[in-house]
Every structure is written in C-alpha cells, then in structure tokens.
Amino acid sequence: MIFRELNGGKCKTYLVADEATHKALLVDPLRGNVPLYLALLAYEGLHLDGIVDTHTHADHPTAGFDLQRLTRAPLIMHTHSPVPRVDRHVNDGDTIQVGNLAVKVFHTPGHTPDSLSLYVEDRVMCGDVLLIGGTGRADFAGGDAGAQYDSISQKLFTLPDDTLVYPAHDYRGNTHTTIGEEKRHNPRLAGKTRQQYIDLMNSMNFPLPDNIQEVLQPNQSAIEDNPQMFPSLSALNEVRQLAPEEIRTLLASAHPPLLLDVREAQEYYGELGHIAGSVLVPLKDLPKRAEEFAAHKSADIVVVCRAGVRSTTASAILTGLGFERVFNMRDGMLGWNQRKLATEK
C-alpha cells in the first residue's frame, strides 16, 4: 500500500493507493490543492479511482467536485450526506475497493450526521470525529456529542490498540497516533462516561471557523457560482422544522401546503423518489423563481431535499423574501423513505 498525507498543514488529505494496480483514493482533498494532487498522481503513475469526503466540511472548500469533473473519478460520501453530486453513497460496513486494497467504512456520526471513518490494513482515517489528543466539535447543526462518544467508544476503540489513527485535522504539528494511545491519554475521553463527555462538550465555547458561511453551504449544495444567495447562520437556525409524519398529516388536510422539492432533477426522479404533488425547484434556481409562488406568501409552504440541509437553506431564503409560513421537512427524503411513506419516481 502507498499511503501519504499530501498537504503538510492543519487540514489533512490522504492518498491511499495499491502498488500492484496503481489505483488510488484521495480522502478529504482541499480545493486549493487540485493542481498538486493531479501532478502527484501523474508523477507516480496512479489512476484516481475514487474521492472520499469523510464528512461535509465547514472550514475549507472541498476539491471533490473539481476532481470529480476533471478525472471522472466517483465522489463517495455517507448516505446521510446532503451533497447532491455524490456518485456513490456508502453505509456502515461497506467496502471501498481500491485495486487489491479493501477499505472498510465505519459510520461514525457526532461531528456531523454524515461522518465516516475508513479502515485499511493497519490504520484508520477518522475525519474529525477523533483527533490526536482531542475530538471534533459537536455543536454544528446535526452534531451530537452523545453519538460522537458512541462512535468513538463502540467503533473506533474496538480496533486493535496498535491501529494507527490519521485524523482530518491537527493543529499541533502531529501526524498520527494510535487507538491505544487515545484510549489511555485523550483528555476528553480517557476515564469519561458518556454523560461526562456530553457535559464536557456542551461546556465548550468553540469559535466559528473563518468564512464558515462561504465554505459550508457550497460544500453542502455543490453550488459555487452564487455564494451571496446563502442566508446567515442565524437565519438558518430560525427555520421552523417539521418531521415527515407531520408533513404527511398536513398534506392530507383540507388545505394542504405547497410542497417545494429543491433537489436536482436526477435526484427528484432517482432512488429516493419524490412526494406526490411536490414541485421541483432546484436550490440554485429558487431565488429567480420565487415570484412564481407569490400567491403563497401568506400560506403554508413546506420545503424538501435529500437530508434536510439544502431545504433549510431554501426555507431561509424564502423567509427572507417575505414568505410568512415556511417549514422545512427535517431529515428530508431520507427520513421520508426510512419511515416507508409513499413516493413516486
């Protein structure tokens, strides 16, 4: 196996390649380093066979979309990823084959709902769930300190103690650690119960990453040509959320809401299907098409997407444009399908 960290900075990108077949996987690539990655692949004679983002990043733009377009390599993320341009969704226990190398997928939520870790041979790339001597923050939307503790204690800490740990970030100049070292000495985890960990994480006042708005929402939506369309974090936090069951009840009422689906067309007609009667308005088109729904400015509007992330953005946009009764469907079409509610394709 060829294994290298490529950035040499706080944000880590890992190259995993099979020497026999020259097939390669890039994990958590940075958008600003695309020329570096392409040059390295060409110099080493490697064929990019896949791109993985271990989660939806909030602190740097992903290179996944650019590499996907330039190399035709598939973009791979967890099933709960909100990103519309993912080629392959993976789940806990799946395997990503890279030539003769079998990369095992663990779903390790907590930092984000779509966080995953990749275990290959003697090492694990764990995104921002577990860090060297720390853990990733759990205070972003969808973060969950309890789920993070479970991911680490019930999945990562069940690996052999000598397993090498490679996180997506390190701010102290470290390169890697081991599972055994983190079990014994990680100050947030060693000797802590689940509730003690939750209390500790809830007591921390993390600063927001620089330029979070300009980074996070394009990473979530794959829309990069008009970042000004994205609402503020405070506006997103004020969006009213409803569960799929509540939406089903509203749709069956005497005065059902207008249902807007803000996914891309291939998603609307794809594996998750769509809700009967919904109107397809991709997020990137919503601001210029909002006037089509002017008659509903005082009526109920429900917005839907894949995982409830893009639709939260869309709900905030509509609210900012003067629509008074906008609701987001929490968990999106993933949640609707998990509850086995009716769909069309």
Mean pLDDT by 10 residues, the chain (345 residues): 96 97 98 96 97 93 96 97 94 98 98 97 97 94 94 98 97 95 97 97 84 78 70 86 97 96 96 96 93 94 96 94 96 96 95
If phi > 0 it is left, if psi is from -120 to 50 it is alpha, else beta; for residue 227 that is alpha
CB 194 within 8 A of CB 207: no
My answer on whether 181 and 262 are in the same domain is no
Task: Measure the CA–CA gap between 323 and 256, rounded to whole angstroms.
Answer: 16
Which of 186, 203, 220 is the last residue in one of the domains? 203
My answer on whether 246 and 177 are in the same domain is no
Instruction: Output the domain CATH number for residue 119.
Output: 3.60.15.10
Q: What is the pLDDT of residue 214?
A: 74
My answer on whether 84 and 161 are in the same domain is yes
Which of 153, 184, 203 is the last residue in one of the domains? 203
My answer on whether 186 and 270 are in the same domain is no
My answer on whether 120 and 12 are in the same domain is yes
- What range does the domain containing 306 cover? 231-338
Q: Which two tokens stand for residue 38?
A: 């392409």
One-letter amino acid identity for 42?
A: A
Task: Measure the CA–CA gap between 55 and 113, rounded to whole angstroms.
Answer: 8
Is residue 118 included in any domain, yes or no? yes
My answer on whether 158 and 252 are in the same domain is no
Q: What is the pLDDT of residue 228?
A: 59
Is residue 328 included in any domain, yes or no? yes
Is residue 345 included in any domain, yes or no? no
Which of 154, 186, 203 is the last residue in one of the domains? 203
Q: Look up the pTM and report it.
A: 0.90
Task: Measure the CA–CA gap between 331 and 107, rounded to whole angstroms.
Answer: 17
Is residue 210 included in any domain, yes or no? no
CB 34 within 8 A of CB 10: no
Q: Counting every residue, how long is the chain? A: 345
Q: Please list, residue by residue across 15-48, b when 16 or more beta carbons sit within 10 angstroms of its beta carbon and e when fewer do.
A: bbbbeeeebbbbbbbbbebeeebbebbeeeebeb
Q: What is the pLDDT of residue 13?
A: 98
CA-closest candidate to residue 59, choices 80, 85, 82, 28: 28
Is residue 216 included in any domain, yes or no? no
My answer on whether 309 and 198 are in the same domain is no
Is residue 141 included in any domain, yes or no? yes
Q: Give me the number of domains the chain comprises.
A: 2
> What contacts 196, CB < 8 A, 6 or more positions away?
none
| Residue 24, beta-bridge partner list | 17, 48
* Chain centroid offset of residue 248 CA: 26
Q: DSSP secondary structure string, 94-160? A: -EEEETTEEEEEEE--SSSTT-EEEEETTEEE-TTTEETTEE----STT--HHHHHHHHHHTGGGS-
Is residue 208 included in any domain, yes or no? no
My answer on whether 144 and 253 are in the same domain is no
Instruction: Output the domain CATH number for residue 236.
Output: 3.40.250.10
My answer on whether 316 and 190 are in the same domain is no
My answer on whether 185 and 264 are in the same domain is no
My answer on whether 289 and 171 are in the same domain is no
- Helices and strands (H, E) in the chain, number of each type: 12, 19
My answer on whether 33 and 177 are in the same domain is yes
